[in-house]
Amino acid sequence: MEPFEQLPPPPAPAPTPVRPRPRWRLGLILFLVATILGGFAGAQIATERNDESDSVDVAPEFESDSSSDGEAPSSDVDAEPSDQPVQTAPPGDDAEGSLDVGSIVDRIGPSVVTIDATSDSEFGSGRSTGTGVVITSDGEILTNAHVVDGATEVSVLFADSIDPIPAVVLARDPGNDLALLKVDETGLKPAVFADPSTIDVGDEVVAVGFALALDGGPTVTRGIVSALNRTIANEDGALDGLIQTDAAISSGNSGGPLLNSRGEIIGINTAVFTSSMGTAANNVGFAISVGEALPVIEALREQAGGADRVEGYLGVGLEPRVDGGRGALIAEVAPDSPAERAGLEVGDVVVAADGTPIDGLPAFIAAIRDKSPGDSIDLEVLRGGSRLTLTAVLIERPQG
């Protein structure tokens, strides 16, 4: 796979006067380059970042286990997850009628926050700005995992506040690019999540977030659902079950809501598509769908206070098909791995996983990423003109 590349940072900006709302420093945009059926393309993570170092992340040879042993940033905030249920719309509650953008913004405004994360590493320190959504009245906030990746300090600014307040990272799931934060506040207005079954291609949507970390309130853009169940590559492997939209999503929008005409969240904005030359495609953005996000929220609550979720490991090297067909080509099988024990061979083409079609390499990476050690997965493969079904039991990635 094409390596993931982080562009060098711009010069540090000159000091700015103190304002009622902090002026976040504009900064670096991350470009994630991926190989996608027939050409090179990638996803631009929508977080506004100002780093004081250069780095390059290289894609793993085998599918990624994105767990880490990093501790959450220290804080006086209560680090216990909420026992409140996430608010969801009634089943089958379709979003009907014309889109009233003003009403949607009024409804979601109190639930959208700015997230500012400070990180330190051996290469230096940096800050990133993203967006978050309040999901419980007692202070739980949902955002993208990459917004708080490596953060040593996290703060949150509400729409009606002047000063930011500290937040603690309860848990992260980099594979699904979601993180759960907590602030020491009560009486907040949680957002409402839509019924996943009501989302259709062509639905009108509104994206809300702190694009480019501009001063003042959030940026609001309008569009439609362009496609469902998209899969794109990212630095932790791949994201699947995505909603594609032509509503403009920019750096700083990460973690913000994509909303239907009733002001309900149908997705969490995460990335925009880019070419291999780093040029963002027009009107091609992606959001993590509510159907993917809701179970991850519960998993994050369960793992709160611990390390990032450990993903299943199969032990294969992958290549995209170059003959125009669908599926993922097995290029390498690790010795004594679940793949070898299941009977996978170099040259096999995986065309389905647990009954779900595998259209390309990122979709297969995402299918493995969604599993945990101990889970089994049924793989339908093409081998020498025959179609076989093999079952693998995943393990935790071996050390060393």
> Per-residue confidence at 29, pLDDT binned at 50, 70, 90?
very low
148 part of a folded domain: yes
Among 289, 309, 329, which residue terminates a domain?
309
Alpha carbon distance 86, 102 (integer Å):
24
Together in a domain, 388 and 298: no
Q: Name the active-site residue from 128, 254, 261, 337.
A: 254
- Contacting residues for 400 by C-beta, under 8 A, at least 6 apart: none
Together in a domain, 22 and 76: yes
User: Any idea what DSSP says for residue 291?
Assistant: H
- pTM over the 0.75 mark: no
Domain around 88:
1-309
> Per-residue confidence at 379, pLDDT binned at 50, 70, 90?
very high
Catalytic annotation present for 276: no
Phi-psi region of 92 (alpha: psi -120 to 50; beta: other; left: phi over 0): left
Together in a domain, 277 and 375: no
Together in a domain, 385 and 294: no
Together in a domain, 273 and 367: no
Q: What is the H or E stretch that residue 258 is in?
A: strand 257-259
Phi-psi region of 12 (alpha: psi -120 to 50; beta: other; left: phi over 0): beta
Catalytic annotation present for 177: yes
398 part of a folded domain: no
- Residues 137-164 have a mean pLDDT of 89
The whole-angstrom distance between residue 6's C-alpha and the CA centroid of its chain comes to 17
The whole-angstrom distance between residue 270's C-alpha and the CA centroid of its chain comes to 5
Together in a domain, 255 and 321: no
Together in a domain, 203 and 325: no
3-state secondary structure of 279: coil
Q: Name the active-site residue from 51, 64, 65, 146.
A: 146
Residue-wise pLDDT for 322-357, tens only, equals 888 889 999 999 999 999 999 999 999 999 999 988
Among 248, 276, 309, which residue terminates a domain?
309
- Look at residues 290, 308, 273, 372 and name the one whose alpha carbon lies nearest to residue 66: 308
Together in a domain, 346 and 271: no
Q: What is the mean pLDDT of the chain?
A: 76
- Residues 115-133 have a mean pLDDT of 82
Together in a domain, 208 and 302: yes
CATH number at residue 333: 2.30.42.10
Among 262, 289, 309, which residue terminates a domain?
309
Reply yes or no on whether the pLDDT at 292 is more than 80. yes
3-state secondary structure of 345: coil
376 part of a folded domain: yes
Q: Name the active-site residue from 51, 65, 149, 177.
A: 177
Together in a domain, 321 and 298: no
Together in a domain, 14 and 67: yes
Tell me, what's the pLDDT at 279?
58
Catalytic annotation present for 146: yes
3-state secondary structure of 366: helix
Q: What is the H or E stretch that residue 299 is in?
A: helix 290-303
Token pair of 58, please? Answer: 């290289």
Q: What percent of the chain has pLDDT over 90?
A: 34
Together in a domain, 136 and 209: yes
Query: Could you give the number of structural domains in the chain?
Result: 2
399 part of a folded domain: no
